[in-house]
Amino acid sequence: MEQPRKSKMNRDRWDLDSVRYHMKKPPAPSREIRSIGEVLGDVVDGLEQPTQENILILRAAWPKLVGEQIAKHSQPGFIKDFQLFIFVDLPGWMPELERIKRPLLTKLQSKYRELRIRQIRFSLNH
């Protein structure tokens, strides 16, 4: 366990050790070293947004709706104001998705009427 920061220091011992070991300042207290990735992982875990149930259904059916190749690079994100937002991982796939936008909207409206999707929007997912 590390000592409190305002603890009293044995000045005579420090003077002797600083000369003996050529130290310019007192040693830091011993702490467990953790990488930034470990620390940020703990922080980011608490920041995930809840996923809508409808999106989970669409994500499961996504490869059948758009095809395996496109499904690898895109996924349904969320539904807001009757618009389905689709996250795309690379900008090169945006034109491909724009090309199939109308047929995809027709499929979604026929198979998933209860979702009442009227429009599709694409967004880069960074």
Residuewise pLDDT in 10s, the chain (126 residues): 455 566 666 777 767 777 777 777 766 666 677 788 888 877 777 676 666 788 889 999 999 999 999 999 999 999 999 999 999 999 999 999 999 999 999 999 999 999 899 999 999 986
Residue 86: enclosing H or E segment and its boundaries?
strand 83-88
CA distances from 59 to 8, 66, 70, 77 (A): 61, 11, 13, 9
Q: CB neighbours (10 Å) of residue 26?
A: 10
Beta-bridge mates of residue 121: 85
Q: For tokens 């830091």, what's the residue?
A: 28
Beta-bridge mates of residue 86: 76, 122
CA distances from 69 to 63, 74, 91 (A): 8, 9, 15
68 burial class (0-12, 13-18, 19+ CB within 10 angstroms)?
exposed
Separation CA 124–CA 126 (nearest Å): 6
The pTM is what? 0.59
Please give the pLDDT value at position 22: 76
Full set of structural domains in the chain with CATH: 53-124 (3.30.300)
- 89 contacts 83 by C-beta, under 8 angstroms: no
